[in-house]
């Protein structure tokens, strides 16, 4: 029960985070919500996880949950990468403004 | 629909954008040639560690300097923005490594005017190229095929840095890909603009210098990753 509550809190955190990211990265957000919801479902109904795990050839339900967690981690890693790209775009805009404001203009040919 | 432009545009209304990063060794004659032909030239010094900016300025170009290196895509966008700010009627992008010919610019501008297009894209496969390695040819052909799939544009040369655009065409370009993927992004934006584009035969002169600065196969994988990543966020 303690593990279930702990995992649920973590997954709920992922859900909240995914919701807040929806406007910036909708694809990542939806993927995270889907995987986190599946995670929550299997945490509370492990027998279903075991049945599904057997069905897809993973073996144990707990392994399935670990795999779900791994997928969440990879999605969040991708989201971090996208955030860095957004930061780089902002820096580019700033640099461009600085560059344009300090242009050294050549004398036009007569 | 592209707007009408007067025949034989004044060369002073044509801005040549040259993105340069550590090109001090080759830049001076290129800029001088462009200036001698009465074009307005803006060199975007993309955070060079050498005297690229000073050499470009001495040769007669206007110089816009990125405080740090951002990449060719970012530099071209800065140059395009600057040219538009200065009231350019036409904007031409021109490589700094000496593989383009200044004489081809007039053909691109003529194509814009005569064929009422917003974009004139240089093609080495309609024109000619000297010293192109076989591997480079294969890579460029793969890029042509991929561009056709991604944008629907039927072009013969998708990674040619020599292009001309009208003011209206240039104002539709907003590059977010700072590095190598900007060429593909630019074509995507041309396709999305719905404005008319034409291809114009140009000559590319490959040199040991330009080949060393050019793209490799591993770069094409990075381009694919960058283009995919951009679709995942705003």
Of A25, A91, A99, the CB nearest to B233: A25
Has residue A110 got a pLDDT over 50?
A: no
Has residue A20 got a pLDDT over 60?
A: yes
Tell me what percent of the residues of chain B surpass a pLDDT of 90.
63
Q: What pLDDT, on the 0 to 100 scale, is given for residue B106?
A: 95
Longest pairwise C-alpha distance within chain B: 46
Q: Is residue B195 part of a domain?
A: yes
Question: Using CB atoms within 10 A of its CB, is residue B202 exposed (0-12), middle (13-18) or buried (19+)?
Answer: buried
CB contact under 8 A, A95 and B68: yes
Check if the interface score ipTM surpasses 0.90: no
Of A81, A95, A104, the CB nearest to B63: A104
Q: Is A110 on the interface with B (CB under 8 A)?
A: no
Q: Is residue B1 part of a domain?
A: no
Q: Is residue B3 part of a domain?
A: no
Buried b (16+ CB within 10 A) or exposed e, B165-185: bbbbbbebbebbbbbbbbbbb
Q: Which residues of A touch B75 (CB under 8 A)?
A: none
Has residue B1 got a pLDDT over 50?
A: no
Give the residue numbers spanning the domain of B159: 11-230
Q: What pLDDT, on the 0 to 100 scale, is given for residue A101?
A: 96
Question: Using CB atoms within 10 A of its CB, is residue A95 exposed (0-12), middle (13-18) or buried (19+)?
Answer: buried
Q: Is residue B4 part of a domain?
A: no
pLDDT tens, residue by residue, B192-234: 999 999 999 999 888 777 777 766 666 767 777 777 776 666 6
Which residue matches tokens 């396709």?
B191
B12: its two tokens: 């002073």
Q: Which residues of A touch B231 (CB under 8 A)?
A: 27
Residue B92 sits in a domain whose CATH number is 3.90.550.10
Q: Is residue B6 part of a domain?
A: no
CB contact under 8 A, A85 and B12: no
Q: Is residue B140 part of a domain?
A: yes
State the total domains in chain B: 1
Has residue A39 got a pLDDT over 90?
A: no
Q: Is A88 on the interface with B (CB under 8 A)?
A: yes
Residue-averaged pLDDT of chain B: 88
Q: What pLDDT, on the 0 to 100 scale, is given for residue B2?
A: 46
CB contact under 8 A, B74 and A96: yes
Question: Nearest residue on chain B to A22, judged by CA atoms?
Answer: B233
Q: Is residue B166 part of a domain?
A: yes
Q: What pLDDT, on the 0 to 100 scale, is given for residue B234?
A: 62
Distance of CA B201 to the CA centre of its chain: 15
pLDDT tens, residue by residue, B164-191: 999 999 999 999 988 888 998 999 999 9
Q: Is residue B84 part of a domain?
A: yes
């Amino acid at each position: 029960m303690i593990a279930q509550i702990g995992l649920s809190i973590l997954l709920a955190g992922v859900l909240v985070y995914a919701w807040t990211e929806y406007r910036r990265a909708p694809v990542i957000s939806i993927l995270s919500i889907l995987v986190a919801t599946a995670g929550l479902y299997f945490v509370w109904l492990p027998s279903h996880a075991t049945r599904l795990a057997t069905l897809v050839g993973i073996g144990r339900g707990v392994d399935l949950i670990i795999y779900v967690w791994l997928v969440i981690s990879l999605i969040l890693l991708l989201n971090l990468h996208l955030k860095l790209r957004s930061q780089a775009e902002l820096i580019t805009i700033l640099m461009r403004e600085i560059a344009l404001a300090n242009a050294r203009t050549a004398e036009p040919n007569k | 629909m592209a707007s009408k432009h007067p025949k034989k545009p004044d060369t002073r209304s044509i801005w040549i954008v040259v993105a340069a990063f550590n090109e001090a060794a080759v830049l001076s004659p290129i800029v001088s040639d462009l200036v001698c032909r009465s074009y307005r030239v803006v060199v975007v010094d993309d955070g060079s560690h050498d005297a690229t900016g000073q050499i470009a300025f001495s040769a007669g170009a206007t110089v816009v300097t990125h405080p740090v290196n951002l990449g060719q895509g970012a530099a071209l966008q800065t140059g395009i923005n600057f040219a538009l700010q200065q009231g350019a009627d036409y904007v031409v992008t021109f490589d700094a490594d000496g593989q383009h010919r200044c004489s081809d610019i007039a053909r691109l501008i003529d194509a814009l005017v005569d064929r009422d297009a917003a974009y004139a894209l240089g093609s080495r496969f309609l024109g000619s190229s000297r010293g192109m390695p076989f591997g480079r040819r294969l890579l460029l052909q793969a890029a042509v095929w991929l561009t056709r799939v991604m944008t629907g544009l039927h072009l013969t040369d998708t990674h040619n840095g020599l292009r001309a655009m009208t003011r209206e065409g240039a104002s539709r370009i907003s590059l977010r890909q700072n590095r190598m993927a900007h060429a593909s992004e630019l074509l995507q934006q041309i396709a999305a603009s719905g404005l008319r584009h034409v291809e114009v035969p140009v000559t590319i002169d490959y040199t040991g210098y330009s080949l060393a600065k050019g793209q490799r196969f591993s770069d094409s994988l990075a381009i694919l990753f960058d283009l995919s990543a951009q679709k995942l966020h705003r």
